[in-house]
Structure 1
Amino acid sequence: MSSSVALLAGLVVGLVGGVLVAALLRRSRRPGPEDTAPADGAAPEAVLARRLLDLIDPAVVLLDAGDVVLLANPAARSLGIVRDTRLLVPELLELARTVRDGGRRRAEVSLSSSLVGGGPRQLGVLGVRLERGPGSPGPVALVLQDVTEARRVEAVRRDFVANVGHELKTPVGALSLLAEAIEDAADDPTTVRRFASRMTHEADRLARLVRELIDLSRLQGGEPLPELVPVEVDTVIAEAVDRTKLAATAKQIAIVSGGERGLVVKGVESQLATAVTNLLANAVAYSPEHTRIAVGARARAGFAEITVTDSGIGIPREDRSRVFERFYRVDQSRASRTGGTGLGLAIVKHVATNHGGSVSVWSEEGLGSTFTLRVPLTDRTTTPTPAGDAPAEHDLAGGPAAAHAPKGRS
């Protein structure tokens, strides 16, 4: 457990000591699951301590020498680890017995979803022997704190650091090798130009990776989210189209804008423009030459839905749910050729989340994909008007949006 959790656990153990007298006084009667009232005649301090235990987040269980539950606060009972006067988790009973011999122990215990519901839990546990009775072990207090989310965040952080290191090694290593090759080919201008061009490509990829890492860090809470203000969706789409026009022109891909005009959302214009740009850039990167990409918006159920539809390669069904993850790419070799970093869609996801919206995708292999970015509308949104150059309905909306993403997208 972390230092803050340990400090809280120590405070709780002190409170348990204050409640021990009251718990022992009512030991002669069997407590029920809802029995939280202190025993009659308990000291005022014990009554106040018991009330505080009932209000705090950590789960607290007090066991006597025979492993009978003398006290369990509501947090402990909500975990499903206590039934009447029995502690149901063998690992916790074993920890209590170890504490009676050693005095104090820390451990982590996993609870199955059958006990707590809604998925397994990881608990940090502090066990303390409160006193030793004459000739026999005394009661034991167990203080349990849910550390599931903390452990998940730690795992994500470890994976993130490992992934960043791996992604940085590729362009850095390539630049080093190319520099050596240029040095060896100093007398061959044609070879030097070819290697220099490749160095420029790798340097651009490295710069893009660093920039997107910074953007992702800001979106994930590294910096406070700016105030959400009214933003015109038409402006966001126009900016995104302008940013990707050069890459699309190089592949002779037409980007067609359409949908409803005049939509206004609550957001940060720069972030929304980045999100739509990333969707368009992916569509351009993974679409064949001489094809078309449609981007448009519509109002639906209080949200503006910005869709980007392409006729690209699509994705296998088994990979659709993972492409919004950081650094996840289905087709690694293709991603390397296009210079993808594996962060573009992760940035889109965090932009959507920070704006109280969502992002989803419909896709079929060989038919293309439609991404849908949903952002809450403001009260300033005017009556939308259809665009004169809007593509057909299926071009803007594609198939039904599902929480998946397309092959090889980054």
Structure 2
Amino acid sequence: MITAVVAGVVGLALGVAGLAAYRHARAGRVLSLPDDEPELPAGAADVLSVIGRAFVLVDDVDGVVRANPSAYAYGLVRGHSLVHQELSQLVRRVRADGVIEEGEFDLARGPVGQGSIVVHVRAAPLGGEHILLLADDRTEFTRTAAMRNDFVANVSHELKTPVGAVSLLAEAIDDAAEDPTAVHRFAGRLEKESKRLAALVQGIIELSRLQGTDVVVKGKPVDVRQLLDEAVDRTSIIAGERNVRVGVGGAEEAWVYGDGDLLMTAFRNLIDNAIRYSPADTTVGVGLRRRDGLVTVSVTDQGPGIAPDEQERVFERFYRVDAARARATGGTGLGLSIVKHVVANHGGEVTLWSQPGQGSTFTVRLPEIEEREDDREVVASRAGGVAAGESEQR
């Protein structure tokens, strides 16, 4: 009996001693683990935390040991690795040469899809074998610069034709001074080209103005039905010249928040476009609906329609489905681009349905707001002021 008790006490003591030895050994192993965090120069961590740019710190085997959320958001880092081969090659060059390098890269945004991001990257040695990458998103700047260059090139090309025509026609009139018939013919063509030039300049001005307008700051409640009625009135002359009737139907009033002048320009451009591409003795229909918190405006013509492969491009600046016909009708190629920008700035969308030989329907959807009585008075007085101003100009 005594022997059994003694054996139990000895076994318990050995168990306790074994557990203590295990815990001591485990603690020793934890304390002896290498520190994965790199030794940064004094103040470097504080600078990186407020630098406002994506950063990645890479070790001597190209493993990512530190990166901020922006680097992951840009798609530069996945897990503990650099995603793009271009950045890995940049790191290796800097490690080999010890010289700071920088460059601009167009990189895939993620593992799927066609999205890309343009980043300006600066790579520098930091603390022994570590390389620091600083990345700045230049995507929007690059795209804006490209759009600006394209726009300038397109404007130069578009202006060249009417300006050259005006110059040549002026010379022709001078040479035909003794021939009244020729003078009359050349003068008519000169007037047509000058109108086209004026329309092009006006379109460029409108496009520039809408890009600089803050709808949130300058907007106010406007009645879309009133704008549509006025837009139809402003296009009545060209409708009469082409013998095209324009009818407006649907809701008697519908209110949205925005810039009434810009919305007027967009609706007028849609109606004008429909009139220009409609055959004589046909009708352009303008509809207005209110549904599910949206105000929907549709403009339908009975024109030649647009082929499916052309429909994605009709909202591009200066793009024309039929360039020859556009010149004949006085189109500038800016009208639908202006519509798209105006509608987007008002939080809406514009879509197109069309079939060759069956006409086209452009549909604008804008967020609806509830009408207030004081809003009605503001819009009515503003519209009256615009109408009076136009009467004075005429």
Q: TM > 0.5 between the two?
A: yes
Cα contact 1:264–1:381 (8 A) shared by 2: no
Cα contact 1:278–1:344 (8 A) shared by 2: yes
Alpha-carbon spacing, 1:356–1:44, altered in 2? closer, same or farther (3 Å): same
Paired residues, what number?
A: 340
- Structure 1: 5+ residue runs without aligned partners? 1-25, 32-37, 383-410
Match status 1:140 vs 2:131: yes
User: 1:68 maps to which residue?
Assistant: 63
Match status 1:264 vs 2:260: no
Cα contact 2:74–2:117 (8 A) shared by 1: no
**Aligned positions of 1:263-282 closer than 5 A:** 263-282=254-273
Match status 1:248 vs 2:244: no
User: 1:90 maps to which residue?
Assistant: 85
User: 1:184 maps to which residue?
Assistant: 175
More divergent stretch after superposition (115-124 vs 104-113): 115-124
Alpha-carbon spacing, 1:106–1:68, altered in 2? closer, same or farther (3 Å): same
Match status 1:166 vs 2:157: yes
Q: Write out per-residue CA displacement over residues 76-101 of structure 1, whole angstroms, 9 at most, x where no aligned residue.
A: 23334334443332211211222231
**Aligned positions of 1:204-215 closer than 5 A:** 204-215=195-206
Cα contact 1:259–1:298 (8 A) shared by 2: yes
Take 2:326 and 2:250, find their aligned partners in 1: how far apart are those partners?
Answer: 31
Match status 1:330 vs 2:321: yes
The CA RMSD measured in Å over matched residues stands at 2.5
Q: Quick one: percent identity of the two aligned structures? A: 47
- Greater helix share, structure number: 2
User: Which of the numbers 330, 338, 344 marks the counterpart of 1:347?
Assistant: 338
Match status 1:358 vs 2:349: yes
Please identify the structure whose Cα radius of gyration is greater: 2
User: 1:374 maps to which residue?
Assistant: 365
Deviation at 1:117, TM superposition (A): 6.1
Alpha-carbon spacing, 1:248–1:96, altered in 2? closer, same or farther (3 Å): same
Cα contact 2:48–2:55 (8 A) shared by 1: no
3-state SS of the aligned residue for 2:218? coil
Match status 1:28 vs 2:34: yes
User: Which of the numbers 97, 106, 110 marks the counterpart of 1:110?
Assistant: 106
Cα contact 2:277–2:304 (8 A) shared by 1: yes
Match status 1:151 vs 2:160: no
User: 1:122 maps to which residue?
Assistant: 118
Take 1:181 and 1:84, find their aligned partners in 2: how far apart are those partners?
Answer: 72
Take 1:119 and 1:108, find their aligned partners in 2: how far apart are those partners?
Answer: 17
User: 1:402 maps to which residue?
Assistant: none
Q: What letter matches 1:28 in structure 2?
A: P
Q: Tell me the TM-score normalised to structure 2 length.
A: 0.80
Higher relative contact order (CA 8 A, sep 6+): 1
Take 2:33 and 2:179, find their aligned partners in 1: how far apart are those partners?
Answer: 92
Alpha-carbon spacing, 1:257–1:188, altered in 2? closer, same or farther (3 Å): same
Cα contact 2:108–2:114 (8 A) shared by 1: no
Q: Write out per-residue CA displacement over residues 282-321 of structure 1, whole angstroms, 9 at most, x where no aligned residue.
A: 1110011111111121102212111111111110000101
Deviation at 1:268, TM superposition (A): 2.1
Take 2:315 and 2:163, find their aligned partners in 1: how far apart are those partners?
Answer: 25
Deviation at 1:279, TM superposition (A): 0.8
Take 2:111 and 2:136, find their aligned partners in 1: how far apart are those partners?
Answer: 16
Alpha-carbon spacing, 1:95–1:230, altered in 2? closer, same or farther (3 Å): same
